[in-house]
Amino acid sequence: MIKYDRFELPNGLRVLVHEDASTPMVVVNVLYDVGARDEDPKKTGFAHLFEHLMFGGSVNIEDFETPLQLAGGENNAYTTNDFTNYYIQLPAENIETAFWLESDRMLSLAFSEKSLEVQRKVVMEEFKEHYINKPYGDVWFKMRELAYKQHPYRWMTIGSKLSHIEEAQLKDVKDFFFKYYRPANAILVVAGKVTTEQVRALAEKWFGDIPAGVKYERRLPQEPPQHEARKLVVKAAVPLDALYKCYPMSARTEPGYYIADLLTEVLGGGGSSRLHQRLIKEKKLFSQIECYHTGSNDPGLVVIEGKLIKGVSMEEADKAVEEELEKLKAEAISEKELAKVKNKTESAIVFEDMSVMNRANSLAIYELLGDVNMMNTELEKYRAVTAEEMLTESRRLFDPLNSNTLYYYSEK
Amino acid sequence: MSVQTKAFLDRTIAPPIKDAIEFDLSLPPYRLQTLSNGVEVYAIDLGNVDAMMVSWIFNAGNSWETKKGVAAAVNHLLKNGTSNRSAFAINEHFEYYGAWLNRGSHHETADVTLHCLNKHVGELLPVVAELITDSIFPQEELDIYKKNAQQRLQVSLKKSDFVAGRLIDAYLYGPSHPYGVYMEQEDYQQLQRDDLVAFYKQQYLGGACRILIAGKLPADIIDRLEASFGRLAIHAPEKSVALPAPAIIPAAQKKYNIVNDPNGVQGSIRIARNFPNRHHPDFQKVQVLNNVFGGFFGSRLMANIREEKGYTYGIYSYLVNNIQQSALVISTEAGKEVCAPAIAEVYKEMDLLREELIDEEELQMARNFAIGTILGDLDGPFHVASRWKNILLNGLDGRYFDEGVRIIKTIGPEELRELARKYLKPEDFFELVVI
């Protein structure tokens, strides 16, 4: 049970406090309700590029990093398709430094041309490092475009192409900031050695006078049900053939999400999972195989991906995966297997919540999802899932007409 | 109702801070207990969540192997079969209880680490004992391991950062030294079941072992460890047996340019020199120098090469955590066309540290950052356990931690410049670019 207090400032900033006196540190986490899904299809990668610019100085503070490091703090940020999250961890005594820094960059950035110019280059190097200069690095660009035809999940957080980043203008930066980076679209979480009273006073002092801004109403094109098997064949200079299959799943807050999550555990969670045991160990068709899901707020994807043993044909490997899915659809899983995936989920939640930083981050995400108390009811939702529900959901999910298959061949 | 006048908030002025030097840092102690067979259990009892970690640390890293790849294979395959259980049954057992049993093979040591909820530990410890007394390394499991490891290597060899990491270690320590040796495809073919079984008997079954436990520990945890491990043939490391320390033979040539992928768009740059181990009085001092140089986001390398020039997504320098001998390494991936200027800037930053004194504000920032990191890192039983593990495996004690804190708080600009003059000389460094 994670305890928290929640209040809102008159400008709409939502504030959550989680007190934990056992640590000497505090975490100050600011989440903005904007991610890659909110981008213009002609200017993809912008939410992430923007995240870099948040470190390029704000209206009253030239340099973000130096004062934070002087206060013994560490910080970082990340952008997803759904949201952008910034966090600082520092000794509790120096908490006000974090409020000063975060509130000033919420008030306004410095909008420096130099910072934009440098961060464009930095992000382009990040793009190259992770997606060009790596074998199979382009898979997700292709896979997202195959699985999503309408929804903006069809592009990656990093952006669909280098040129979009190259072309970003300072005007885009300003517009983006004043549209999304307003108190009305932000969630502040403070966790650690701190009291709610202290946070209330600091929040009013530092964030209270920031103009509310207009609350962003998200209206994204929704992905229509698939109803067709899609397939793509790619050849590239990689050493091994690889198979990727994706199946559209339920949105984050729907009951089907929990069922799909457990199904990925049955198929690909660990050495005793079905795909690992049957396809790596028994049939020796794959050297590596995984099953997971993208876990996004809007409907995401269940993914199966594996590298084929040299000499195994793609068709044979694909057929073997399909057979495992058919077995899942034919017969309810045993009580033991169900208990296993639920126990694994319980452990995963307990271990993840051990760190104050994770707890702060999770509180922000659940608040974004619409109900912060979900953090305390997740485990019950997993526990309530039945083998029968998993059977029904697996039939819907792993319908061949819901499949996106990518054959990634080694070009040799 | 009175009218509240709100004081004007001057956002240009930073709030006052408590300085690093004022923070009192101490590493929470461990409790040491000894099982009947002499195996020492180091216990870190902290935290408020009913979850724990148990780590069995053996003298079973690649320094002890006589044939390439045996130590890693044995460590990996410990979970793949006993007389009574198949690999599947073992995995299923740990996963059923929501536990993770990870293995790790390093240079001097190799370990088996269990993470679990306290309520399940009783079901898990006896099975770990089974793995370290009765693993049988089935031929079929070894064959799968060899094949899959070869395939993984094929993919890794296409990555410039992976190739650069292997090569720089070979230059620093020599290709035959356990720190410099790396696997080729053929080495996997040479692995024989008999080699694995012999290594296992020597280094695990009857080997030197230390146990590290951390978490909100149940009252009966020592009794449980005694019941499962107290009568086994494992024993405490013998004081008279030194760790292997084979001769280190660095490469004669200093500069290398390797084209691994003609279509590559980035170069993996590694600039590195040999450096003494943690017992050397300069080690913790150079960690402070390294913080200023390239140790964190606010460092000079990052400020210059990423934040000023935009040549890279990230650049770091660090001291390698090796027991026999460390190395000072600068590591980055930079656009192919900017590799040369990026390297030139690294040397310029070394020149500046050798020539000019670090100013007080920058030093204070590096100090406070380091103290803040330690403070944050002492949060929770697993972090504390990993600090202790490092101290103990390096043959050090709690004074090492206290001395490190003292150095961070007191070292001055002159001494740091002296250290830069001693250790940041470009001619001492290997330089490698892999595209």
Q: What per-residue string of b and e applies to B265-287 under the rule 16 or more CB within 10 Å gives b? A: bbbbbbbbbbbebbeeeebbbbb
A111 and A174 Cβ atoms separated by less than 8 Å: yes
Instruction: Kindly state the tokens that stand for A8.
Output: 């809102």
Taking contacts as CB-CB distances below 8 angstroms, the residues of chain B near A350 are: 49-51, 117
Nearest CB to B11: which of A67, A72, A104? A104
CA distances from B68 to A256, B65, B326 (A): 49, 7, 22
Which of B379, B384, B405 to mutate to probe the A interface, most A CBs <10 Å? B379
According to DSSP, residue A58 is labeled B
Four-way CATH pick for A230-410: 3.40.120.10, 3.30.830.10, 3.30.460.10, 3.40.50.880: 3.30.830.10
Distance CA B379, CA A354 (A): 10
Sheet with B312-319, side-by-side order of all strands: B255-258, B430-434, B266-275, B326-335, B312-319
- How far out from the chain centre does Cα A89 lie? 21
Q: How many CA atoms lie within 13 A of B146 on its CB side?
A: 19
pLDDT band at A50 (very low <50, low <70, confident <90, very high): very high
* Model confidence pLDDT, tens digit, residues B255-301: 999 999 998 999 999 999 999 999 999 999 999 999 999 998 889 99
Do B335 and A125 lie within an 8 Å CB cutoff? yes
Distance CA B110, CA B59 (A): 6
* Model confidence pLDDT, tens digit, residues A128-159: 888 888 899 999 999 999 999 999 999 999 99
Q: For B64-86, what is the mean pLDDT?
A: 97
Distance CA A106, CA A384 (A): 41
pLDDT band at B201 (very low <50, low <70, confident <90, very high): very high
pLDDT band at B5 (very low <50, low <70, confident <90, very high): very low
User: Which among B339, B179, B337 has a CA at the least distance from the CA of B269?
Assistant: B339
For β-strands B51-58 and B209-215, DSSP reports them as: antiparallel
Instruction: Kindly state the tokens that stand for A242.
Output: 């690889």
Q: Is A2 on the interface with B (CB under 8 A)?
A: no
Q: Which residue of B has its CA nearest to A107?
A: B11
ipTM value, please give it: 0.94
Nearest CB to B99: which of A60, A65, A347? A347
Q: Is B11 on the interface with A (CB under 8 A)?
A: yes
Q: What angle do CA A36, A41, A46 make, to 5 degrees?
A: 45
Q: What pLDDT is attached to residue B239?
A: 84
| Residue pairs spanning A and B at CB distance below 8 A | 206
Which of A102, A125, A210, A274 to mutate to probe the B interface, most B CBs <10 Å? A125
For β-strands B312-319 and A84-91, DSSP reports them as: unpaired
CA distances from B87 to A272, A304, B256 (A): 8, 23, 44
A44 and A159 Cβ atoms separated by less than 8 Å: yes
Q: What pLDDT is attached to residue B7?
A: 64
Nearest CB to A74: which of B115, B309, B376? B376
Taking contacts as CB-CB distances below 8 angstroms, the residues of chain B near A126 are: 313
Distance CA A308, CA A314 (A): 8
Q: What pLDDT is attached to residue B2?
A: 45
Dihedral angle of Cα A283, A286, A287, A292, to the nearest 10 degrees: -120
Percent over 90 (pLDDT), chain B: 89
* Amino acid code (one letter) for B68: K
CA distances from A182 to A34, A330, B90, B91 (A): 11, 50, 52, 49
Task: Determine the distance in angstroms separating the CA of A326 from the nearest CA of chain B, rounded to an integer.
Answer: 22
| Chain B, window 263-322: residues with a beta carbon less than 8 angstroms from a chain A beta carbon | 263-266, 296-298, 306-313
Q: What pLDDT is attached to residue B1?
A: 42
Distance CA A146, CA A323 (A): 23
Q: For A325-337, what is the mean pLDDT?
A: 97
Q: What pLDDT is attached to residue B329?
A: 98
Nearest CB to A288: which of B97, B98, B148? B148
Q: What pLDDT is attached to residue B196?
A: 98
Q: For B344-364, what is the mean pLDDT?
A: 96
Nearest CB to B265: which of A128, A271, A288? A128
Could you confirm whether domain A5-207 is CATH 3.30.830.10?
yes
Per the prediction, chain A carries an average pLDDT of 95
Is the pLDDT higher at B7 or at B11? B11
For β-strands B430-434 and B255-258, DSSP reports them as: parallel
Residue B62 has pLDDT above 70, yes or no: yes
* Model confidence pLDDT, tens digit, residues B13-57: 999 999 877 888 889 999 999 999 999 999 999 988 999 999 999
Residue B4 has pLDDT above 50, yes or no: no
Distance CA B295, CA B287 (A): 8
A132 and A111 Cβ atoms separated by less than 8 Å: no
Instruction: Kindly state the tokens that stand for B392.
Output: 């103990």
CA distances from B120 to B93, B115, B116, B127 (A): 11, 10, 7, 12
Distance CA A337, CA A331 (A): 13
Do B152 and A287 lie within an 8 Å CB cutoff? yes
Task: Determine the distance in angstroms separating the CA of B281 from the nearest CA of chain A, rounded to an integer.
Answer: 25
Residues in chain B, overall count: 435
Which of B52, B85, B117, B154 to mutate to probe the A interface, most A CBs <10 Å? B154
Do A129 and B266 lie within an 8 Å CB cutoff? yes
Nearest CB to B372: which of A73, A239, A240? A73
Residue A379 has pLDDT above 90, yes or no: yes
* Model confidence pLDDT, tens digit, residues A253-307: 999 999 999 999 999 989 999 999 999 999 999 999 999 999 999 999 999 999 9
Q: What pLDDT is attached to residue A269?
A: 86
Domain limits, chain A? 5-207, 230-410
Distance CA B270, CA B248 (A): 19
A96 and A127 Cβ atoms separated by less than 8 Å: no
Task: Determine the distance in angstroms separating the CA of A137 from the nearest CA of chain B, rounded to an integer.
Answer: 11
A150 and A36 Cβ atoms separated by less than 8 Å: no
Which of A51, A128, A346 to mutate to probe the B interface, most B CBs <10 Å? A128
Q: What pLDDT is attached to residue B287?
A: 95
Do A117 and B310 lie within an 8 Å CB cutoff? yes
Q: Model pTM?
A: 0.94
Instruction: Kindly state the tokens that stand for B342.
Output: 């990026």
User: Which among B317, B396, B361, B387 has a CA at the least distance from the CA of B25?
Assistant: B387
Taking contacts as CB-CB distances below 8 angstroms, the residues of chain A near B99 are: 347
* Model confidence pLDDT, tens digit, residues A70-108: 999 999 999 999 999 999 999 999 999 999 999 999 999
Do A271 and B91 lie within an 8 Å CB cutoff? yes
Q: Do domains A5-207 and A230-410 have the same CATH topology?
A: yes
| Chain B, window 49-108: residues with a beta carbon less than 8 angstroms from a chain A beta carbon | 49-51, 79, 87-88, 90-92, 95-100
Q: Dihedral of CA A189/A190/A195/A198: which sign?
A: negative
Domains of chain B: 31-229 (3.30.830.10), 255-434 (3.30.830.10)
Q: What pLDDT is attached to residue B6?
A: 56
Residue A335 has pLDDT above 60, yes or no: yes
Do A281 and B87 lie within an 8 Å CB cutoff? yes
Q: Is B14 on the interface with A (CB under 8 A)?
A: yes
Do B117 and A269 lie within an 8 Å CB cutoff? no
Nearest CB to B15: which of A72, A97, A309? A97
